[in-house]
Every structure is written in structure tokens, then in C-alpha cells.
Structure 1
């Protein structure tokens, strides 16, 4: 499949503010882009993957095996990719996705202890080399992220991963930082402890610097 569009993912630990940043970022870019934008999320984005999301994140599914969880994420990702992401990229669109393969590596590979390489292999099978063109990693300390979640959501709104221990979420963050070091050409770190405005501006500048041809040139200067 040919890819003419641009694929950007937003990653980060729970409580990093990904959803809010994506929403504000799209508002900021909307009048400057030459291309149409598709926003989506993982797990989910399409009906089949949303159903898998319900199974994965249901807080009552406490007996779910770690490998089952990892395989469900990969299955949801595969269907999401072929049904929504790739068709959008083939028609020269900008795709902005809340989470992708790096989440599985951090959460299931590292934090669950399955092994980074094992999880990477099943996800490489799922995505067939269709890695993001740019990943913006919103970095925040695990304790800060969990504090944000607990303040912003009721007990009923917390999913199965939200309820994991601080130690689990610290392992997630550590894995992201390791990914950042090994894939610095693709993954760019953004300090998510700043104000939302500063985080959005940083993300905006990184996207514009990386893909200037997507933006309408200013007539000034």
C-alpha cells in the first residue's frame, strides 16, 4: 500500500494529557494545513476495535492474562490500521492517533513483564512496517499522571489500567524513555508537566518543523 499522507502518533503515560493536547493542537493547526486531518485513538477508532477496547479495559476483567491482553491490543491495532489509518494515508491525509505500537511496548512489553521484543514481534506482524512518521511523547512523572487521573475522573470512570499501581506506571514511563533513546529520529519528547498551552505549542512547532510542506506558507516576510 502506498502512503502519501503523514502519520503522527501521540504517546505518553496515563494522565499525560494526550486527548486534550490533540484536541487543542487540531484547533491550532486547522486553518494552516493544506491537507485534511483524521484523528483517531487506540485501542479503538473503528467499531471492531472499539469492541476489543471494551474487553481490554473493562475493570471487571481482572483475570485477563498478560499475553491475552497483548494479543488483543495487536488485533485491535491491525483492524484499525487496515480499515482507517492506511486508507486515510493513501488519500494524502494527516492522521493523528492517540497511542499506537509504542504503548504496547511500554505497557505490555515492559510494565507487564512479557518482554519488549516479544511484544514488538507480534505488533510488527500486525502493522507490517507501518510505523508512524513522527511520535510526540508527552512525558510526565507517573505520580503526577495518576494524580491528574484521580482528580479528573470518578471511580466509575477508571479503567483497568488506570487502577494499576504506581510502580506499574513508573515502569511504563521508564520504558517510554528507553524507546525515546533508541528511536530518537522518530520519537520526540515533550515536557507534559507544563501548561496545556505550552505543551500544545511545543507539539505544533515540532510538527511544523518536521513537515513544513503540509502547512500554508505565511505571506509575511
Structure 2
């Protein structure tokens, strides 16, 4: 992990920990295995927050680091299988998402991974995977159509795709709303941070809609 990215992750960790402390939770950042319950053997989360009625395991990732994070769904399942425990994924907004063409096979694999996460009750993990997939497909579209994207945020790339007439206005508005919702979730903690099944389904539909434009 690059030094700058590590520093941003520590800052995000402190913000999450501070929010839970303000809500009355007992919080441990980067807990050692000795202070974790037995069922979390092999899991080293970024933050654990506990209260009388709620216990939370928090993992912090960048959009880029979600790629290859196949353990997230398994971790979420393992935690959520225990009463009074839940898993929360916090995804930091990257400055940009790397541009690359996405094959049909990779698209289907990423979409299937997100849908599996939703099916096992890990809505926040599914949400993060799908937001990342929207960004990847948008940048693929930009690259194939000669739309500049160097140094631009995912939102700006989407806006340029709309300006060039590549993404139709109704789909563009929905994509921008989804990206905005992802940014808003970064400022939320607790049950309000868990996306609804409708929000996850909307993102899945948006991924399919963008893919049809490739």
C-alpha cells in the first residue's frame, strides 16, 4: 500500500472510530487477535465497536483495493452469522479509478460477486462492488470513445460521457445519483450506512445499462 493511501486509510479509521465513540460504543482500532471473539479467528478488522445491543466489525478499503478482495464476502458472512454482530464496509473515495477495458467475462464475474454478497445479506459489500463496477465501465466507455479522463473523478468522467452524448440523460442522472449516494455513505455510520436492497438492485441495473453501451 502506498504511503499516501495508508495515511488516508488511517484517517478514515480514526473518523469511523470517533463516530462510534460519540454514539457510546466501546471502540478498539486495529484490534489484536487476543481481544477478538473466537468466531473471528483469522479476521483482523480495522475497527471493532461494541455496545449493549450492537457489535460492529468495520473494514476500510479504497475502491482500488476492492479488486481482488474476495475475502470480504466471506468475512461479512462469518460476522453476520452471529447474533448481535454485524459487518460494515467503509469505502474511501479514490481520486481516480484506473482506466482499462473490461471483458464480458470479467464484468459477469464482478456482477456475480456483488449479487452473491447481496444474497447473503452483505448489502454494503455488494454496494461497494457495484459502485466500483460502474466506475470501471464508465472509464472503459470513455477510453473507447476518446473521452479524456486523466486526473478526473468518476463523477466527472460520467458527466463528460453525458456531454458527448454517449450516455443518455436518464441513465446519466441515475449514475450520478448513485455516485453521490456512495459519497454520502462515507459520512454515515451505523445502521443508516447500510444500503437498502432497492439501492443495491438499482446499482446492478445501472451496471447492466452502462455495459450495453460498450
TM range (shorter): 0.3 to 0.5
TM-score when normalising by structure 2: 0.38
TM-score when normalising by structure 1: 0.37
